[in-house]
Structure 1
Amino acid sequence: MSEANDKVPAGTPAGTPPAAASRPEAIKAIPVRHYGRWISAILVLAVLGLLVNAFANANVNYGAIPDFLFDSTVLKGLRNTVVITVVSMALGLGLGIVLAVMRLSKNPVTSSVAWGYIWFFRGTPVYVQLLIWFNLALIFPVINLGFYKDEMNQFMTPFMAALLGLGLNEAAYMSEIVRAGIQSVDEGQTEASHALGMTQGQNLRRVVLPQAMRVIVPPTGNEFINMLKTSSLAAQAAQYAELLRSTTDIGNTTGATVEMLFLAAVWYLVLTSVFSVGQYYLERRYARGTTRNLPPTPWQRIKQNLGTFRRPEVAR
């Protein structure tokens, strides 16, 4: 062994091996203290405490909320809300795809018609459209489609008025979302599919739309949740017995008006939370192949957040 290896630093206790003597001392990692975080957290908790105290002392009978939470009238309105939301969204999505393809068409007639549809339905409030559909019998007493003829009052039921008002309005927004998704796919993909002998329909169905779904899914999920809440307008405009109307009727009967509004808010929060989780996993599925690591699931995020409260280990 060389003389350099036999040398030990001055002050090292006798008998200490050279390798142990040359090892650096352990570094004590002291985390930086963020006093601003504690101050902001205290302020937020104080404001929340004031709000909780205000509602706790308010003249509200909170016991009425769990009493009517699973009432048959409320559950029927809840079912009607889910049904009208799903059916209207399906109508809006299907018609929106057709309008997006028409808008991208090189045919000036079809593209102009699609543009006019989008211009009208996005330019007028959905509440006004619901009122027009519900009162359509005032200008068209009889509906005659050739294969179907009936009085407009019999045909334009509250459900049909809500479906047409919500679904046709949603189609205008969905067409723009689908069009943006289609245009996000590189044109080389279309050229390559045409070179392989695919038709325009096959190219759209097998090549373009599967890749465009990564762009289409996130805003579509947001539109669905927005539709779930917008369906409450059908109670006033089309007299459709959805969740808000059911709880309002109970409130008018029992006198617990505000309590039933809180009850409706609870159910809306439950529905939006459930559908938001479904939207997250759908987005996560279509994110495969675009990122190296998939975004964490809600449970994985909870574990990560819990891990941040642990005491940091000392580096050695």
Structure 2
Amino acid sequence: MNLDFTTVLPSIPYILEGIGITLQIVLAATVIGFLLGILLALFKIGRIKLLRWIADVYTSIFRGTPLVLQLMIIYYAIPQLLDIQIDPIPAAILAFGLNSGAYISEIIRGGINAVDKGQQEAALALGIPYFKMMKDIILPQALKNILPALMNEFITLNKESAIVTVIGALDIMRRAYVVGGSTFRYLEPLLIAGVIYYIMTLILTFLGKMLEKRMRRSD
């Protein structure tokens, strides 16, 4: 095999610097997606038809179109329409957050529906306000049930973040591409990037299992 890592080894620290950019995008987008997902899930299970319709349309659009398309619309089209400038990282955070919110809302909705209906009926019978009931009784139980699915979404988001290379954000993948262009050897830096993503996935998977075990022990 025509592999020669000697020319790209000095560039490994440069590629590793992309981990910070990747985690910045993923963590911020996860927070946005989680909060948005809770809101959309509450809309979907609520009694207001307009809010249910808005949540369903939102989820349908963001789950039915490619993430890279949503990213490019935010980065290229919105500045064109509004005559503003959006930097790559904020654009990526917004795109991933909005997209993740659609998927997380379905996960949370399923978790809420899995909680015994009798608890909600008992809380309402005791006069507990709907918001307080959801915050203190229903959502905590739902989150314990859906934690594996949430961690899987987080891991998927970490891998999908590689598409930010199309808008020039200097994440792991983009830096690997830059190294390939400067050394005229693309396979080696791409393999290094793949190993980095794989190790990050293993670490996140391990942390997710540890968190799941801790939450089970707290029951």
Task: Provide TM-score, normalisation by structure 1.
Answer: 0.66
Cα displacement string for residues 244-284 of structure 1 (whole angstroms, at most 9, x for unaligned residues): 00111011101221110011011111111111111001111
Structure-2 separation of matches of 1:200 and 1:269: 43
Report the Cα offset of residue 131 of structure 1. Answer: 1.1
Unpaired runs of 5+ in structure 1?
Answer: 1-57, 143-151, 291-316
Matches within 5 A, 1:1-316: 58-64=1-7, 66-69=9-12, 71=13, 73-137=14-78, 139-142=80-83, 152-153=84-85, 156-236=86-166, 238-288=167-217
Distance (Å, rounded) in 1 between the aligned partners of 2:28 and 2:103:
16
Q: Percent identity?
A: 32
Which one has a larger percent helix, Structure 1 or Structure 2? 2
- TM-superposed deviation, 1:222: 0.5
Distance 1:183 1:76, change over 3 A: same
- Going from structure 1 to structure 2, the CA distance change for 1:172 and 1:137 (only over 3 Å counts) comes to closer
Contact 1:182 1:208 in 2 (8 A): yes
- Does the CA-based 8 Å contact 2:8-2:179 persist in structure 1? no
Give the Å deviation of 1:227: 0.4
1:289 Cα shift? 7.1
Instruction: State the shift of 1:63 in Å.
Output: 4.1
Task: Go from structure 1 to structure 2 and tell me whether the alpha carbon gap of 1:137 and 1:203 turns closer, same or farther (over 3 Å shift).
Answer: closer
The structure whose Rg is larger is: 1
The one-letter amino acid of 1:271's match is: M
Q: Secondary structure at the match of 1:59?
A: coil
How far off its partner does 1:133 sit? 0.9
Q: Return closer, same or farther for 1:64/1:221 CA change in 2, 3 Å cut-off.
A: farther
Q: Distance in 2 between matches of 1:250 and 1:194?
A: 60
CA distance change for structure 1 residues 252 and 98 in 2, over 3 Å: closer, same or farther? same
Q: Secondary structure at the match of 1:240?
A: coil
The one-character-per-residue Cα deviations of 1:125-172 (angstroms, maximum 9, x if unpaired) are 101111111112464143xxxxxxxxx12xx11112111211101100
Q: What letter matches 2:66 in structure 1?
A: P
8 Å CA contact 1:65–1:262 kept in 2: the answer is: no
Q: Identify the residue that residue 303 of structure 1 maps to in structure 2.
A: none
The one-letter code of the counterpart of 1:159 is I
Which one-letter code corresponds to 1:214 in the other structure? K
Aligned match of 1:11: none
Q: In structure 2, list runs of 5 or more residues that go unmatched.
A: none
How far apart in 2 are the matches of 1:96 and 1:288?
Answer: 26
The one-letter amino acid paired with 2:131 is: G
Number of residue pairs aligned between Structure 1 and Structure 2? 219
TM-score normalised by the chain length of structure 2: 0.94
